[in-house]
Structure 1
Amino acid sequence: MKLYQDGDLHDALMLLQCEFVAQRKRVNPADITWLQYDILSSLRSGATMPSSLSVQLGISRSKLSKSLGELKSLGFIEQTPSAHDRRELQTSLSDKGLHLLHDIDDQHHELTESAVSVWSPEEQRSFANLATELVSVLREQRKQQR
């Protein structure tokens, strides 16, 4: 069922995605890949196993393993054997990784300031709610595709 007119929704989503990609590239002081940023961002909520990360991010274990190796060699993550299964590595942010995310967060404040300058408080809440709802649906679809 098509609810949008003349591609307005499609066009708006594609333009927004392009702008977010441009912003992300601009605020990346360590020149890490998008996947590496996603991994670091996911680890912000706490240590986890690679198996959980691959499901959350919707990527293969081999692709994740390569990125984790690169992040570890850059000093952005730490890995220790799991207490429950020594074959699995508990993966967490290092202090250097946490500092990198804080630096990136500082740069992202410009994006928030732009939104605040354009939208009323009610529009900001509405956008936040709609974006959160869409992200939730996209993540669930990705999990089901695995």
Structure 2
Amino acid sequence: MNERIKKALTNLQCEFVAERNVVNPLEIKWIQYDILAALAKKKMLPSELSKYLGISRSKLSKNLFELRKNSYIEQIPSRTDHRELVTCISDKGRKFLINIDAGHRKLTTIAINVLSQEEQAEFIKIAEKLADALGKERLTNGR
């Protein structure tokens, strides 16, 4: 059973990566997409963003520089400590995510077409449970 789960997860991950490559207009790197998606939820300090995404501060800093240079994000000094920069998504960044969302709608349509309503409900339950566990593991153990 462990090998079947491993194979299923690996295959699903490969398909999602392939789909990402189809919908990405090669304008930004996927780590930058992940940064934008996180910032679409809320403004964050780089230290928070680094931990949330499970990436090093140096890797984050390089990508934030590129996103800021291309006007996908904005950084403003923190009200409590002006040495810290609060990072937020810009209008251009939001528009980029809206365009990428078209690819997500395609995946949703495929899932709806191949899964029964009962399978959809079970998939949602399992996917949310697994995503929550993976996120907690990354945030707790700093993976």
Normalising by the smaller structure, the TM-score range is over 0.9
> What TM-score results when the alignment is normalised by the length of structure 1?
0.92
Among candidates 87, 90, 100, match of residue 104 of structure 1: 100
User: 2:8 matched to 1:12?
Assistant: yes
Larger deviation, residues 29-38 vs 115-124 = 29-38
Structure 2: unaligned runs, 5 residues or longer: none
Structure 1 vs Structure 2 CA RMSD:
1.2
Displacement after TM superposition at 1:113 (Å): 0.4
Structure 1: unaligned runs, 5 residues or longer: none
> What TM-score results when the alignment is normalised by the length of structure 2?
0.94
User: 2:111 matched to 1:115?
Assistant: yes
- Deviation beyond 6 Å, 4+ runs, structure 1: none
Higher fraction of helix: 2
**In the alignment, residue 29 of structure 2 is paired with which amino acid?**
T
1:25 aligned partner: 21
Displacement after TM superposition at 1:27 (Å): 0.6
For residues 35-90 of structure 1, what are the alpha-carbon distances to aligned partners after superposition, in whole Å with 9 as ceiling and x for unaligned?
10110000111211111101100111111111100111111001100111111111
5 Å matches for 1:77-96? 77-96=73-92
- Identity of paired residues, percent? 49
In 1, the alpha carbon distance for the partners of 2:24 and 2:74 equals 21
**Residue correspondences, number:** 142
Displacement after TM superposition at 1:32 (Å): 1.4
